[in-house]
Structure 1
Amino acid sequence: MAAPTPHNEAQRLAELVDFAVLDTLPDPSLDAIVALASSIMDVPIALVSLVDAERQWFKARVGLDACETDRESAFCAHAILDDEPLIIPNALEDARFANNPLVLGAPNIRAYFGFPLIVGPDLRLGTLCAIDQKVRGITDQQIEQMKSLAKIVVSQLEITRSTRDALALAEANEALNREADHARVILETMSEGVLIKNRIGKIVEANASACQILGLSRDVMLGMMPNDPRWQRLRENGTPYLPHEIPAIEVLRSGIPVSNEVVGVPDADGGTKWLHLSASPLFEPFEETPSFVVSTFSDITHLKSQQEHLRDLSVKANAANAAKTQFLANMSHELRTPLNGVVGVASALANTPLDDRQKRMVELIRSSGKDLERQLSDILDLTKVEAGELQLEAVPIDVSLIIHEVIALMSGACAQKKLELAFDNKLPAQQLFLGDPVRLRQVITNLVSNAVKFTALGRVKVTASPRAMGPGLVIDVEDTGIGFDEAQSQKLFERFSQADNSITRRFGGTGLGLAITKSLTELMGGTIRAQSTPEVGSVFTLDLPLALDRAVLPSCVSEDPAEICRDIPKDLRVLLVEDQLLNQQVFGFMMEPFGAEFFTATNGAEGVEAFETATFDVIFMDMQMPIKDGLAATREIRALEAKTGAKPTPIIMLTANAGENHRRDALAAGADLHVAKPVTQVAIGDALRTALATYGKALRAQA
């Protein structure tokens, strides 16, 4: 928005013409003033701006290449309307300037501080202004210092006008001396150190702050040269500057300002003091190289020390985190291997003739193994979430099928406690969603398991419904358990925390289940909330905005042997590449219902050799093995197939390396599926159906 015209514009313009300063050569005194103003305000741009009828013209400038702009967009055209400074901390929030081209484009003005150049009552020729490219304020001390400098600018302009006769020149010199004293006072009151050096780098002026920061007296510093042995500078990396590389000397050579340099200098104790330094050139009229350089600096030694300490702590923390991640990865593999034996044998044993007592014993083994697997997964998932390494899939999933699986898994525990376990499915029939089936199953299992754990009488009910607005679904897990109060609800989703310490003794658990559930829910873009009444029950509500999909995935919910082996040919030739004898035996037990011809190899090298000498319908490949691991063996098998033109053989990575990174590595090596241990016959059946279907092998229904 253009500024209104002063009521005495004609008189003001006549006074400006009388000064005879427009379009004149640079004035070193005014150049020094704008450099000092830039330092006082710590801004990149400072100007002496004169406003005529159609433009603003810059008599002196720092940080800006242009020498003029149009009056309509000039901030200074607003500043000359009043004797008080024009303070604009944020131009984007000021209706007068929010759409100004100098704000929306170069030089990208955000903060503007204009101090009118008052040459008489109600007469203002222009401004001494400071401009920043970031939003900021101004202190009272800076206001007073800038007002003094504006007066100095006016005095200098008066001096220039007065040089037309000798008497005026003498008076102007006296006034200049007075104002120079004022400038000296400003210089001495600055908290930043200021050094002025001449064209050969010799110090010709130093303020009190410079002496205090550098620990040298003014008498010692005046006359010091860049190569003085008491004055060796260091870069931030600790290497010394050569004399011609020193920032101030570089400015004298190039005429280009330097900002935000970190420079080290010796301190009195033999250590290093670190300075935050900027340097600006000063030019004489008609000179192409600077005559002086003004260096301003502050002591950041303490800040630098804190940064180095934080850097050391960060390095140690990263090392500790890497060690923790490696430990958990190793722990995962070592624990999952024996756990695979427990769960796998129990799964196979459950499908053999057993009396009621034996069935209960087997079910106890299976449920305990599942609990241990879930707790192990919670610990590992926590580490992945913290590291930002947990990646989600987006594949078609049948949510109702997943809930049925969870219900089937928890039915035994509910039967033991004589709890009713119900599922109210309000989702449209055959409706599939895009999401991560493993993580969704984990979230629902945690919620249902929690409900069963804390419910002694009554029921647990799971309800799945479409979202009221937008695609997705809402899952409610309701129980008639012990509940919790408002104070306890604040701790529900904290890691390693439970609502009440007594719960640890009464119910057990790691305190990670709900924390992981919340993290996974948020990764899926959803929310989770809980409502409860003590001794009445609780409701956990999961709101997931999952996209809809029409795809269909084969899966098996029932653990009945006939259902597990559905659509899988009886004459399959299956190769298991596994170095653990226990896992070979467990896998053999679990493969019995499938009626397949079963072969084993004890490492990746033997697996490749077996592949070259015989034909198999499916290969189950362990990942971590001696001599040659599963990834290398899989890559070699795929290379052999490509070389001979053979039809690919389905390869299922069956491994205790259960991380998302392991799954990606397995698929990248050429595996078709990644199945984490411990495994069940249901998982093997699903994997066989999916892998065989991938290569178009005819799946024949069981007789």
Structure 2
Amino acid sequence: MAAPKPHNEAQRLAELVDFAVLDTLPDPSLDVIVALASSILDVPIALVSLVDAERQWFKARVGLDACETDRESAFCAHAILDDEPLIVPNALEDPRFATNPLVVGDPKIRAYFGFPLIVGPDLRLGTLCAIDQKPRSITPAQIQHMKALAKIVVSQLEITRSTRDALALAEANEALNREADHARVILETMSEGVLIKNRIGKVVEANPSACRILGLSRDELLGMMVNDQRWQRVREDGTPYVPYEMPAMQVLRSGIPISNEVVGIPAADGSTKWLHLSASPLFEPFDETPSFVVSTFSDITHLKAQQEHLRDLSLKANAANAAKTQFLANMSHELRTPLNGVVGVTSALANTPLDDRQRRMVELIRSSGKDLERQLSDILDLTKVEAGELQLEAVPTDVGMILQEVVSLMSGACTQKKLELAFENKLPAKQLYLADPVRLRQIVTNLVSNAVKFTNAGRIAVSALPRVTGPGVTIHVEDTGIGFDEAQSQRLFERFSQADSSITRRFGGTGLGLAISKSLTELMGGTITAKSTPDVGSIFTLDLPLPLDRAVLSAPTAEDLDEICRDIPKNLRVLLVEDQVLNQQVFGFMMEPFGAEFFTATNGDEGVEAFETATFDIIFMDMQMPVKDGLAATREIRAIEAQTGAKPTPIIMLTANAGENHRREALAAGADLHVAKPVTQVAIGDAMRMALTTYGKLAQARA
């Protein structure tokens, strides 16, 4: 039968672990003790047995080859339950051990005598035990001898533990001394200066670099206080530190490290030496405030001087650039006056009777004047961009129409060079964007004009489509021209530069067109990129994040209702937020051709609640309602979408307020479109189609 565990088993096992004796090498002194025990009791087997959680392990043994057994069959597991020895004269007659595998099998235990190894009150690690293979008893004198030997075993274990602890302490001290030596070597060889101050700000240690940087000997530094007159410190702005504001004192007060502080100290020649300084606290065990502060610093005087020099150079360069910009602006303005005379007189001359030769000469003057005017405009635009004076408009703009106009304008030049000119417009029909039409036309004209200029055979292709990542347009201008390599592309958009300097002579131009196009594009928040293969062609991509012009939509008279219905998928879920019951009914009739599921809410609160509890493809929102108006409801819906990360639902504002200020209020609240009452089925259908297209839901719904 297995022995019960002692009531303090956890404490007993912890003590056993602290002795660190399990699975260690034999101890000759203990081997002598078990041999003596075997002789005293005249038994073939004697052991020093230690009982851990799962086994008994023999630290010393005589007469037995095994070094351990499981705890369940161990006689010693019973012996450690009491301070008195466990005497078993005949194991076959003891119900605890009669069927024990160590009794019925090897080593065929018959008599067992276990003397506990007592290391403290009610704490027994194991036993000094003796085993015979025939039933027998022992005398009281033998019991006393074995108790004395058990105490000697415990003393030997204690001595071993004490010796081990002393050795460990010695090793720890040696390791600390080695680490201190290493730290001292590191401290002495560091290029950064290091000062250690105690809690009152007195220097208690300084490394050689600190002495070199500060210009003081170690003896001079040791014992110095923070208010010492020999090192009055100043900030970068020149104001002096008072002692309690110095970084080291701040760290000692707060216990919080300070990094990257720039501190000035007086140099021997009367100038200021600048230090880059950090300070860290050191705490003694159990202290809440630092006992020391370690300050590390490096001399950055030369870096400060370089910074000042670079700052002066930058100011001079900016002044020179500003002077150049002003000069170019003045020159372009001054040249426009005589140029205006040339163009005006040429125009007047062209309207007088001329022969063919004279007309060609006038046309040549007129063409040259136009080229000069365009180049002056480029220079003037450049100066405005550099001076930050170029202001962009944001007005409703038909991008597709502008592109069509540019393509039409360039068609004559393409015809002359026998180039094919193609235009593909994939922008939503009638969708307007808030943009600067003049500058947009200027950019696209530059791109298409360049494509025509550098293409001698093949085609020019212009295409426009909605941006993938948000509202706006992406425009591609592709040609089969001379192209350019990677090295040339690096300077393609630089001012007064072209891909190849020979191009200026071959094709003409100032080299400002693409530079100005890039500047204008960036002012619009967009990007312009180019990909090209020499002698194959180029693709310029203009990506502009233009806001949608959710302008007041009128009923498009040229649009056929049946065509709109075919474009809009059936079974859309549409919510109308409208307080007038009559308007709800009218709207319901008007929605019938579109085959949508129609839901209503009578005020803004109900509309928001409906949005939170159901999913809709489109929301029509009346602007003026009781309880909560359409503007407030729209703002709340957009806030919920932003908070939850939900995809935006198209919101179309329906209102009798058709003024520009009302449109701006609707768009500012988050509406996508602003449709003025009274509305028609065509206007409603066109608004739905435009909203679904804008959010990419039209193709999704069809799929």
TM-score using structure 2 length: 0.45
Greater relative contact order structure (CA < 8 Å, 6+ sep): 1
Greater Rg by CA = 2
Q: How does the TM-score come out when normalised to structure 1?
A: 0.45
